[in-house]
């Protein structure tokens, strides 16, 4: 089997109501989709947070998709970053799975989890709102929908962070897990003040207080914070994870499969994390392609050894995003607080080409 064509699609989707984390207003969702065709008639789909210029992908033409690791190494040599290669790697695994009639998680050694507990990822700031407006209603709706964990946005200063966390905790009760995400808004000292300000609301983890390359700041915050520290969603490739993991600057490591380099890179990163006694809980923020890929990979991550292991929580993005809800013919949904790991060959995904065309602003192709 050989790769015959590669198409890249830049997709953008304008949201109806803009929403903000601590640093960025989201007015549109933008992703890169990769389609890889083969001479066997099998087509694979992948997603990157962005896609490379197609010229840099020509080395994959005429090559066997089962050589995904070789092709990833050649891409790096050719100047393609792990982040830009992510979508191609995911598409190659989709092809391999379809070729052998097995789900991708079996290509990775098999699923430890048949289903994963989900957390509702939302609770942003909306245009014109007071800092806590709408939080109680939104958080309460997640609990009513069956979620046993939620993640909210903070990073607006310690006092506002505490007020927002208090509003959500009051709405969800004492049993639902609550994580907070500061999206790199702070320096080390301000971050530590924020961790202390929100701590009384029983915070399961505190995410991205500072930019991901500030390893020493993460170490300092981790030592001072009264809860677990999470981060890493923006890092690319094994090497960018090396210092933050080996210097024990995080408790929970959060690679994003469409940024970190696809299955090939993420398997190395989760091995590095496991060897250091830290947890991997993937980040997921994108379309149904990234969601499916994350499910297959996360299903293979180890369960804790205890009788009551920590939940292997899957990030379920609850913001408005038609690239997540419409791009696949069978969208993934949570039921009773869980999402089922797909068992169909490959990623187990069928793309709605009308939806793909509707949101594509640029398509590029290379062929053999």
Q: Please provide residue 205's backbone torsions phi and psi, each rounded to the nearest 5 degrees.
A: -145, 155
**Alpha-carbon gap, residue 211 to 192, rounded angstroms:** 14
Q: Provide the minimum distance between the beta carbon of 294 and Mg ion in the complex, in angstroms, as a whole number.
A: 14
Q: Which is nearer to Mg ion, 23 or 73 (CB)?
A: 23
Binding residues vs Mg ion (CB under 5 A): 181
Q: Which is nearer to Mg ion, 115 or 153 (CB)?
A: 153
Q: Which is nearer to Mg ion, 37 or 317 (CB)?
A: 317
Q: Provide the minimum distance between the beta carbon of 287 and Mg ion in the complex, in angstroms, as a whole number.
A: 17
First-to-last alpha carbon distance for the chain, in angstroms, is 13
The two tokens of residue 182 are 């500061």
The dihedral over CA atoms of 250, 186, 159, 140, expressed in degrees to the nearest 10, equals -60
Q: Please provide residue 283's backbone torsions phi and psi, each rounded to the nearest 5 degrees.
A: -90, 145
The two tokens of residue 124 are 């942003």
**Alpha-carbon gap, residue 345 to 203, rounded angstroms:** 38
Q: Provide the minimum distance between the beta carbon of 267 and Mg ion in the complex, in angstroms, as a whole number.
A: 22
Q: Residue 288: CB partners within 8 Å, gap ≥ 6? A: 323, 324, 325, 327, 328, 331, 332, 349
Q: Provide the minimum distance between the beta carbon of 84 and Mg ion in the complex, in angstroms, as a whole number.
A: 21
Q: Which is nearer to Mg ion, 161 or 181 (CB)?
A: 181
Q: Provide the minimum distance between the beta carbon of 121 and Mg ion in the complex, in angstroms, as a whole number.
A: 8
User: 186 and 207 in contact (C-beta within 8 Å)?
Assistant: no
Q: Provide the minimum distance between the beta carbon of 181 and Mg ion in the complex, in angstroms, as a whole number.
A: 4
Q: Which is nearer to Mg ion, 96 or 152 (CB)?
A: 152
Q: Which is nearer to Mg ion, 118 or 328 (CB)?
A: 118
**Alpha-carbon gap, residue 348 to 61, rounded angstroms:** 24
Secondary structure (DSSP) of 259-295: HHTHHHHHHHHHHHHHHTT-EE--B--S-HHHHHHHH
Q: Which is nearer to Mg ion, 268 or 283 (CB)?
A: 283
The two tokens of residue 113 are 């989890």
- The Cα-based distances of 278 to 244, 259, 283, 359 in angstroms read 11, 20, 15, 39
**Alpha-carbon gap, residue 200 to 98, rounded angstroms:** 49
Q: Is 105 a catalytic residue?
A: no
- The Cα-based distances of 241 to 180, 213, 264, 275 in angstroms read 22, 9, 14, 13
Q: Provide the minimum distance between the beta carbon of 124 and Mg ion in the complex, in angstroms, as a whole number.
A: 11
Of the candidates 7, 113, 283, 296, the residue annotated as catalytic is 283
Q: Per residue in 94-128, is it b (16+ CB within 10 Å) or e — as a string?
A: bbbbbbeebbbbbbbeebebebbbbbbbbbbbeee
**Catalytic site residues?**
283
């Amino acid at each position: 089997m050989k790769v015959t064509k590669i198409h890249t699609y830049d997709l953008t989707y304008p949201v109806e109501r803009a929403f903000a984390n601590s640093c960025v207003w989201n007015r549109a969702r933008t992703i890169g989709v990769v389609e890889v065709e083969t001479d066997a008639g099998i087509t694979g789909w992948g997603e990157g947070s962005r896609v490379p210029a197609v010229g840099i992908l020509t080395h994959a033409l005429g090559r066997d998709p089962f050589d995904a690791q070789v092709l990833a190494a050649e891409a790096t040599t050719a100047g393609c970053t792990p982040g830009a290669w992510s979508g191609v790697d995911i598409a190659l695994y989709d092809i391999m799975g379809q070729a052998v009639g097995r789900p991708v998680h079996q290509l990775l050694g098999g699923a430890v989890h048949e289903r994963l507990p989900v957390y509702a990822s939302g609770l942003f700031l909306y245009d014109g709102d007071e800092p806590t407006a709408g939080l109680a209603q939104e958080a309460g709706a997640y609990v009513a929908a069956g979620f046993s964990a939620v993640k909210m946005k903070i990073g607006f200063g310690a006092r506002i962070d505490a007020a927002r966390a208090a509003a959500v905790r009051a709405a969800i009760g004492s049993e639902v897990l609550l994580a907070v995400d500061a999206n790199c808004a702070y320096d080390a000292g301000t971050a530590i003040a924020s961790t202390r300000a929100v701590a009384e609301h029983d915070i399961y983890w505190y995410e991205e207080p500072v930019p991901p390359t500030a390893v020493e700041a993460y170490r300092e915050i981790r030592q001072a914070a009264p809860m677990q520290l999470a981060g890493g969603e923006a890092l690319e490739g094994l090497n960018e994870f090396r210092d933050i993991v080996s210097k024990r600057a995080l408790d929970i490591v959060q690679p994003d499969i469409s940024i970190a380099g696809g299955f090939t890179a993420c398997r190395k990163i989760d091995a590095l994390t496991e060897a250091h006694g830290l947890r991997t809980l993937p980040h997921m923020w994108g379309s149904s392609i990234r969601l499916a890929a994350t499910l297959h990979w996360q299903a293979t991550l180890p369960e804790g050894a205890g009788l009551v292991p920590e939940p292997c929580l899957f990030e379920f993005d609850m913001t408005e995003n038609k690239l997540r809800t419409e791009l696949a013919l069978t969208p993934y949904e949570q039921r009773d607080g869980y999402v089922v790991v797909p068992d169909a060959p490959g990623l187990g995904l069928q793309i709605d080409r009308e939806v793909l065309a509707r949101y594509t602003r640029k398509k590029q192709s290379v062929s053999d």
